[in-house]
Structure 1
Amino acid sequence: TGSTIMDSHGGPYLNIRALCSPLGAARLCQLAMGCAVIAMVTHNAGFSGSHGVFCMAAWCFCFAMTVVVFFLDATRLYSCLPISWDNLTVTCAAFATLMYVTASVVYPLFFVQSECPYAGCAVRNFRIAVTVCSILGTLAYGAEVALCRARPGQAVVGYMATVSGLLKVVQGFVACIIFGALANGSEYSRYAATIFCVVVYAFCFALTAVVVVMTVCGRTKAVRCLPFDRFVVVCTLLEVLLYLSASVVWPVFCFDTKYGSPWRPSSCPQGRCPWDSKLVVAVFSFVNFGLYVADLIYSQRIRFGSSHNPRV
């Protein structure tokens, strides 16, 4: 009968560490907070408009992603996948942390008021509870990132667990914010210079995505004549130079009096103002430029080995 409850490695079929470990506790907290948020929003808190849809989509996506990760980890089925499991899980946790942070700011900003709305105080109280649970979910995902992050002096196998790898996730998230602002009536097609900036944002995002996908898929062997860590540094240097040019060109062609306006037009509609979108793009261009510079600095100290086979 012992063979019926043991796998081929002589251990239990289920991964007990998926439950009885700090990492397992963090994921269980993620599931609990995600379930609570979704239940309260659909029950009485409610959501509406593009901001509400974004928050609900973020919570649902992160909850579904955590369910899949927890199930694969608990059953050890990740060993059947041709991926680097550690890189995948820390990438998912970092991305979910950013999504939860954004939703935890956007939802109360647009849906929580100090006075009771027409529907009564129950709705407001539910929305406050949603915000609290969303913040707790953010801490749970952040705890997973902290638990999986490579420590100084530790042998680095998973690139995404390093500071440089986590910065890649943040860079991609910031780029998505830039794309959202560009799509919100930014009038970027008026000048060839601003079109160049859009090309820079898209190219750098694609290059960052390629590095992340290669790492998650375990393809960290030499790229042509370059070791993977040097390939990452070359890509990051190129992205720094491109973002530097875009961070200079975009504000000039959007806020200089010759091409645009340095001040927000008084007649500009709230929520659909091209000037606001241009400002968002300019601010987050500088943010991403700083992230790429920090990434380049940290990349100089990374030496890691390839890890195609997932952790068993």
Structure 2
Amino acid sequence: MCQLLLGCTTMALVAHSAGFSATYGTYCMFVWCFCFAVTLVVFTLDVTRLHGCMPISWDNFTVAFAMLATLMYVTASVVYPVYFLRSECPSEGCEVRNYRIAVTVCSSVCCFAYGAEVFITRAKPGHVVGYMATMSGLLKVVQAFIACIIFGALANDSEYNRHIPTQYCVVVYSLCFAVTVVVVALTVSGRTSSLRFPFDRFVVIYTFLAVLLYLSAAVVWPIFSFDKKYGTPGRPEDCPRGKCPWDSKLVIAVFTSVNLVLYFTDLVYSQRIRFVSHSSA
């Protein structure tokens, strides 16, 4: 209910006077509308107990969505004030600035509401929960979200097609993203038990391969983007903000390293879970 109240308030403030424009504003509005709509559906199905009729693993779905909504709200709460909030009053007047401040506050508070749901429903020692509630499952959602940020930077004139090694990096991002989404989809749909191979072992092997692939991309991408022989070490002075290939390359390099750390953490945690389970048996 807190998520619905804050989400509705944020959308109302934006529609009333705060306003939005361009691609960044459209993305923020999409985040608020999408999260509100799905949260409303989840709340309705939960209250009416109709979620039992859904052909999905309800617990896995709700915690996966809560994690995704947290990440989406975090990005919207950062992007909106960066592009629409200024210390001085805009041409529309100081009232518009005040509404935009209120939007930023409501969106930021809603981050904590979704984050609190993830914290409450996450796996705890001694409790039997779905895979998505474990650290490994939550990391899968974060990994897919970070990959989407990388794809956005790739699409923003990143010049990745200038070198074959950078094209290889795009293949790495796409392959790991696709398999991660499949893992999440199979878990949420509750189809893992019907597979003809041990799903947990497959996830561990895939995570190990993803670590190796991202490690290679974390080395190759900076070399062919910032080395003097292939790219530009420093940011060009005549590069416009928001439309600079160098900025996109930097974003990709940073988030490649972030995802490498996430996959490595996922691998370590998965091995620890398998060791504890094997020892208990």
TM-score (norm 2): 0.95
Q: What is the 5 A alignment of 1:152-163?
A: 152-155=125-128, 157-163=129-135
Map of 1:224 onto structure 2: 196
| Alpha-carbon shift at residue 301 of structure 1 (Å) | 2.7
1:240 aligned partner, one-letter code: V
Pick aligned residue for 1:193 from 165, 171, 177: 165
Q: SS of the counterpart of 1:91?
A: helix
1:90 equivalent to 2:60? Answer no
1:170 paired residue number: 142
Contact 1:34 1:134 (8 Å CA) reproduced = yes
Q: Distance in 2 between matches of 1:76 and 1:153?
A: 26
Deviation (angstroms), 1:78: 1.0
Residue in 2 aligned with 1:310? none
Are 2:5 and 1:35 equivalent residues in the alignment?
A: no
Contact 1:87–1:158 (CA under 8 A) maintained in structure 2: yes
Letter in 1 for 2:264: V
User: Are the equivalent residues in 2 in contact too, given 1:222–1:228 (CA < 8 A)?
Assistant: no
Match of 2:218 in 1: 247
Find the aligned partners of 1:118 and 1:297 in 2 and give their Cα distance: 53
Q: Secondary structure at the match of 1:221?
A: helix
Q: Which residue of 1 aligns with 2:73?
A: 100
Q: 1:297 to 1:222 in 2, by over 3 A?
A: farther
Q: Point out 4+ residue stretches in structure 1 off by more than 2 angstroms.
A: 152-155, 220-225, 301-305
User: What is the aligned counterpart of 2:255 among 284, 297, 308?
Assistant: 284
Q: Which amino acid aligns with 2:215?
A: L
- Quick check: which one's helix share is greater? 2
Partner of 1:262, secondary structure, is coil
Is the contact made by 1:229 and 1:302 (CA closer than 8 Å) also made in structure 2? no
Task: Report the counterpart of residue 137 of structure 1 in structure 2.
Answer: 110
State the identity %: 67
Residue aligned with 2:192, SS: coil
Corresponding residue number in structure 1 for 2:239 = 268
Alignment: residue pair count: 276
1:250·1:282 contact (CA, 8 Å) conserved in 2?
A: yes
Tell me how large the CA RMSD over aligned residues is.
1.4
Higher relative contact order (CA 8 A, sep 6+): 1
CA distance in 2, matches of 1:84, 1:68: 15
Question: 1:154, CA displacement in angstroms?
Answer: 2.4
Specify the alignment match of 1:57 in structure 2: 30
User: 1:237: which partner in 2?
Assistant: 208
Q: Distance in 2 between matches of 1:224 and 1:301?
A: 24
- For structure 1, the 5+ residue unaligned runs are 1-27, 306-312
Residue 185 of structure 1 aligns to a residue in which SS? coil
How many angstroms apart in 2 are the aligned matches of 1:172 and 1:266? 33
Letter in 2 for 1:220: T
